[in-house]
Structure 1
Amino acid sequence: MGKGDAETAARRLRLLQAEFLEPTRGEPGLRTGTRTSPPAPLHLGILDHMKASVEEVIAHTRQQAPNASPIPAEAGDVYDWCVQQTPHLDGERQAIRDALIFRQSLEHAIAMGDIKAVRKLPCPGCGCYGLLWRAGAALCPYDRCTDSRGMANRWSLAQLAHHHVAFKKMLKTHAT
């Protein structure tokens, strides 16, 4: 995995923390009922997402490197910390780590409303670009890329991340 995937995940997590923790205010001019209590001072769903993401990376790192150095204070630094603590892993376990980081990067983008992050990835089934994000899955827009029932192939973020990491590894091994 290039350092770029970890940097992207960290940048997206920091952006979530800086910009998307504020509670939604609703559209201007939208009539709503009178509140009986003030709203939460921050968006709890985003906070829960961030906490779960950081905890998953920490748990994965501690499982692979029980003697890892202390956890960084800044949430966005856990990705670099994870990579730095696990250089000894074999290729397969590094690929699992890299897929976890890339999947979380996609999750952060989607949590911010950036579904275009999925469109930039090739379809694992046919290789075409332009995946569509619908109902928690990426759908292939190519009409010939279908499952056994004739429905568009659906890909989870974990499947996309696994394919992305495997494709990058293949490119690296076949480079001159």
Structure 2
Amino acid sequence: MDTDEAAHRLQLLLKEFTIPARRPGDGRTGTRAHPPVPLNLAVIDHITASVVEVAEHARAAAPDAGPLPAAPAGIYDWWRQSTPDLDEGAVQARETVIYRQGLEHAIAAGDHKVIRKHPCPACGTWGLFWRAAAQRAVCVNQDCTDTKGMARTWELKQLAHEHIAARQRTLKANAT
């Protein structure tokens, strides 16, 4: 997943997943005192939290950054444009947050396959899957266990950090 895909996934969430899901049934419901909420509030909260996190990081690095973009999906380009002179470590941190948020957007949209595209940081196998209850990626390699003998689990920020670091190593190796 390209880091610009985070903006696409955020836009997809905004357009497609803010409409409340219909509940299965025969169409008959009890009388309501109030109509249902016209938006999926969990998705709206997710989008808002993502924008706020990016804005806080951007303003910490560039307090004079301009106003936030009107469209939430423009937040990542805005962050990059507001912080063009970051050192290498800060660029890696910025791109890691953007990539992690892209993974979060995909999972919020129900696309758990994005996790399978990452190798396990411990053993390097391609056996990760998303465990929704734990909100973590889990390695299915039977030899990849923690000190208690349990399958290793990874937070999205760890997967994002590994992905961005590997990409930067590749870019440096190819630049010579």
- Do Structure 1 and Structure 2 share a fold, with TM-score over 0.5? yes
Deviations 1:17-43 (A, max 9, x none): 000001111125477655332110100
Greater Cα offset, 83-92 or 47-56: 83-92
Mapped contact 1:122–1:129 kept (Cα < 8 A): yes
Greater Cα offset, 122-131 or 11-20: 122-131
Secondary structure at the counterpart of residue 174 of structure 1: helix
List 4+ stretches of structure 1 deviating above 3 A. 28-36
Give the equivalent residue in structure 2 for 1:143. Answer: 142
Mapped contact 1:120–1:130 kept (Cα < 8 A): no
Give the equivalent residue in structure 2 for 1:82. Answer: 79
Alpha-carbon shift at residue 68 of structure 1 (Å): 1.4
* Identity rate, percent: 49
Query: How has the CA–CA distance of structure 1 residues 24 and 90 changed in structure 2, closer, same or farther, with 3 Å as cutoff?
Result: same
Correspondence list, 1:1-176, <5 A: 4-5=2-3, 7-29=4-26, 33-134=30-131, 135=133, 136-175=135-174, 176=176
Aligned partner letter, 1:48: D
The separation in 2 between residues aligned to 1:32 and 1:164, in whole angstroms, is 47
Aligned partner letter, 1:84: Q
Runs (5+) with no aligned partner, structure 2:
none
Question: What's the C-alpha RMSD, in Å, of the aligned pairs?
Answer: 1.7
Alpha-carbon shift at residue 66 of structure 1 (Å): 1.1
Runs (5+) with no aligned partner, structure 1:
none
* TM-score scaled by length of structure 1: 0.92
Alpha-carbon shift at residue 128 of structure 1 (Å): 1.3
Deviations 1:114-142 (A, max 9, x none): 00111111111111113111120000011
How many residue pairs get aligned? The number is 173
The separation in 2 between residues aligned to 1:154 and 1:63, in whole angstroms, is 31
The separation in 2 between residues aligned to 1:81 and 1:128, in whole angstroms, is 35
* TM-score scaled by length of structure 2: 0.92
The separation in 1 between residues aligned to 2:171 and 2:144, in whole angstroms, is 27
The separation in 1 between residues aligned to 2:96 and 2:90, in whole angstroms, is 10
